[in-house]
Structure formats: structure tokens, C-alpha cells
Amino acid sequence: MRRILFIFLFSFWIIVFSFSLLTFNLREIEASSISLGVYPPIIQINATPPANVSADIQIQNQGEKSRDLNIIIKPFKAANSQNGELSYLFANDQFGTDPLMLNRIKVIDENKKVNSITLAPKQEKKLKLNINIPKDETPSDYYFSVVFVSRGEPAEVSKTQIESTLNASQNAAGIATNVLLSIGPKTKAEGEITEFSVPLFLEKGPVEFNIKVRNQSNFFITPRGSILIKNMFGQTIGRVDLLPVNILAHSVRLIPGSDQFDAKELKIDAKSWEAQKALWSEKLLLGPYTATLAIALTEDGPVLRETIYFIGFPILIIIGSFIAVILLLIIIKKLQKKLKT
């Protein structure tokens, strides 16, 4: 019996030890898989045909091992989450109006078209994205990622294997820079505010505004706007600036506040960014308030406006004040009785 127990415990220890080694190796592989840097994370190109446009892409191997990288052009569209996530297209999905556009997109290294590169440890390489737009090209938008994948990763990546956002360059299959190509001439921008809301009654702050804007244009837009908050006397007591985010053609997007982005550190508050709220940091709320949203779809307009109302009702403070008043009245009455006697 002791022999059987010893064999069982020894086997269990071997399994645990092996699993620990496997976990360590997986973490090491995971850490090495993100040892790449790319700049810029997003490229915006506006062009009127005919045009031969280009943009620089810097890719750096931040690891201690050489990297053999395949370069893949992956078209994408806005995901249904409405929070800036993107969804990569399948081979049969429509990519703009020109079926030959993918053939016009090239990555150039030292004046040669390349589909793969090799980076030594700590090496940085400057590549050039080149797009040749013919004279008869019809106006349309094209959204795609230039993905750098370690050689050996699958060349065809499914939608579920890659997750990314329009403001980040890291994804599960490698690292990428996202490109928003808009071929004009452009018409007047069109859109609407599909949601501007806040709870009617609020006990305390901060106040979280939900903002959704629908882009009804045939091209991406980067709206800019703010929320002005007024108290019951009509005085402007607060302002919330909105983060200028990209809204792809014919899509809806939540718009957060700019305070979620640290301009000095170039960092985003992940928790508030996930919530995609515009926050007014005021904590003490009392009485009715008016919030007016004004957002310009482009530098040339149009400007969309909407007004909502909410009421600050700090119930705990009111109850505490009520109890304090009652206690004060009781004390005053007792003092009056003593003075009479």
C-alpha cells in the first residue's frame, strides 16, 4: 500500500513540475512574441486621383533574437462592438469599390517590393508603404492593416485569431500599423448623434455620459467636440472635451472623453477606455443640470448639437442634513426649557 502511495505522489510531483516548466515556456514565448515595435500605429491618407502616395513605417525588433517576418496586407472593417475595435475581412468580403486595390498596395524596402524582412536583435528598419492610384479611380475608402507576422505563423488569419483597435497596433498574430485610405474627392460629411444620455437622477459624481455618433458618409471622419454643463442658474460650471477618434464610413462609434488619454505619457486609461464614457469629474451634485453636446464631424462641419437634463440628488447628504436639523431643534427646545426654569 505504501509503495502504491509513493508511486502516486511521485507521479503527481512529476506532472506538476512538467506543467510548471510548460507554463514558464509559454510565458517566455508569449513575451518574445510581442518584442516588436511599429510606428506609426495608424496612418491616415487622403488622396485625389491620379496619385502615387507613400508613408513611412518603422519596425523594430526589441528582442534578443533575430526575427524573420512575413508582411501581410489585411483589409478590415469596423466591428459591431462600436468601441473602436476592428474586424478583419475574409477573402470573399468586399474591399472598397476597386477589386484591384490590393494589387496597388506595396511595401518597399530599399526601392524593392518585399513580402518579408529579417530583423537582427535590436535592429530598426524603415520601410515605405506605396499606393499607386490611377486617374479613373472612383471615390472610396479602403481600410487595411500592414501586419508583420513571425515566419511560421499562418499567412491567412481568421477574424477570431486577430483582435485589434483603430488606436492600437498590437494584435494576436503579430504587430501591425492600421491604414485608413480615403480616395476623393469627398462630398459633404453626414452623420447623426444616435445616443447622448446620462441617468436622470444622480446621487453623486463623477457623471458618465454615453455618446454614440453614426457616420453616414462614404469616408472616415474624426469628429471633435465637447459637452458644456450648466447649473440651475444657467451658469456654465463644467466642460468635457471629447477624444477625437476615427469613425469609419457607415459605422457607429462610442466617443470617450479626452481625459482618458494622457498626452504626456501617451497612455490610455484602460478601465475607462473600455467603458468608452465621457466623464465629468464633479463629485458633489445638487439640483438640476443641463448638458449640451456640440460635435463637428469635420473641420468644415457640419456641427451636431443635442441637449439633455439630469438632477443631482445627494440623498445621504440630504438625510444627514435633515437629521442634523432635527437634532439642532431638539437641542434648542431643551435650552429654552432650561432658560425658563
- Same domain, yes or no, for 173 and 38? yes
Indicate whether 6 belongs to any domain: no
Do 120 and 196 belong to one domain?
no
- Judge if 203 and 269 occupy the same domain: yes
Q: For residue 308, is it within any domain?
A: yes
**Range name among 196-200, 219-223, 238-242, 273-277 with the lowest pLDDT average:** 273-277
In the chain, % helix, strand, coil (3-state, to 5) comes to 20, 45, 35
- The C-alpha cell at 281 is 469629474
Specify whether 51 is located in the same domain as 158.
Answer: yes
Q: Stretch 24-39: mean pLDDT, rounded?
A: 54
Rounded CA Rg of the chain: 29
Q: Which of 248-257, 286-295, 300-309, 313-322 has the lowest mean pLDDT?
A: 313-322
Cα–Cα distance for residue pair 38/35, rounded to 1 Å: 10
Contacts of 293 (CB under 8 A, 6+ apart): 193, 196, 209, 211, 225, 226, 227, 304, 305, 306, 307, 308
Same domain for 169 and 70, yes or no, is: yes
Share of the chain above pLDDT 90, in %: 63
Q: Is residue 8 part of a domain?
A: no
> Are residues 287 and 152 both part of a single domain?
no
Would you state the pLDDT for residue 261? 61
240 in any annotated domain: yes
Instruction: Give me the pLDDT at residue 275, please.
Output: 66
Q: How confident is the model at residue 51 (pLDDT cuts 50, 70, 90)?
A: very high
Instruction: Give the end of a domain, one of 166, 183, 200.
Output: 183
Residues 293 and 265 in one domain: yes
| Residue 338 counted as domain residue | no
Mean pLDDT of 12-20: 31
Strand 67-78 and strand 116-119: pairing?
A: antiparallel
Q: What is the pLDDT of residue 92?
A: 86
Q: What contacts 331, CB < 8 A, 6 or more positions away?
A: none
Q: Is the pLDDT score of 308 beyond 80? A: yes
Q: How far is CA 167 from the centre of its chain?
A: 5
Looking at the chain, the whole-number percentage of residues with pLDDT higher than 70 is: 77
Mean pLDDT of 265-288: 73
Bridge partners (DSSP) listed for residue 176: 147
pLDDT greater than 90 at residue 31: no
As for how many domains the chain has, the answer is 2
Structural domain ending residue among the three candidates 148, 183, 218: 183
- Burial of 27 by CB count in 10 Å (0-12 exposed, 13-18 middle, 19+ buried)? exposed
Q: What is the CATH number of the domain that holds 120?
A: 2.60.40.10
pTM: 0.78
Alpha helical stretches, state H, the chain: 2-33, 101-104, 270-275, 315-340
Same domain flag for 297 and 313: yes
* 329 falls within a domain: no
Residue-wise pLDDT for 134-190, tens only, equals 999 999 999 999 999 987 655 444 433 444 444 444 444 479 999 999 999 999 999
**155 is a domain residue:** yes
Same structural domain, 249 and 205: yes
> Has residue 14 been placed in a domain?
no
Query: Which grid cell sits at 158?
Result: 481568421
166 and 198 part of one domain: no
Same domain, 168 and 211: no
Single out the residue in 158, 183, 208 at which a domain terminates: 183
Contact (Cβ atoms closer than 8 angstroms) between residue 89 and residue 99: no
Q: How confident is the model at residue 195 (pLDDT cuts 50, 70, 90)?
A: very high
Q: Which residues does residue 236 pair with via DSSP β-bridges, in sequence order?
A: 230
Tell me which residue range forms the domain holding 163. Answer: 34-183
Shared domain for 240 and 302, answered yes or no, is yes
